[in-house]
Amino acid sequence: MDPDAARTARESLDLAFHMSNVLDTGLDRHTLSVLIALCDLGLNPEALAAVVKELRTSRELQTSSSPPTSTAPSSLS
């Protein structure tokens, strides 16, 4: 990738990440980059958004329903 294209891509990602933060999406820079790349490959953005929402919902359900794990060291005597 030539330097101008790399700079433009970086600036575009920076802008998208800033907008993502303003909208409080909770997406990190890497995830946002992957989602943009998938859109560039022709995937439907609305379908991607639905997948992200579904994954978040699943993760939240797993987190809230899983039993707490103990961080205390076990002693075997």
Residues 37-47 pLDDT 10s: 999 999 999 99
Q: Does any domain span residue 70?
A: no
Q: Does any domain span residue 33?
A: yes
Q: Does any domain span residue 54?
A: yes
**What range defines the domain where residue 26 resides?**
3-64
- Longest Cα–Cα distance in the chain: 64
pLDDT at 77: 41
Q: Does any domain span residue 43?
A: yes
Q: Does any domain span residue 56?
A: yes
Q: What is the pLDDT of residues 14-30, one digit of tens each?
A: 999 999 999 999 999 99
Q: Does any domain span residue 77?
A: no
Q: Does any domain span residue 16?
A: yes
pTM: 0.73
The count of domains in the chain is: 1
Q: Does any domain span residue 74?
A: no
Burial class (CB in 10 A: 0-12, 13-18, 19+), 35: buried
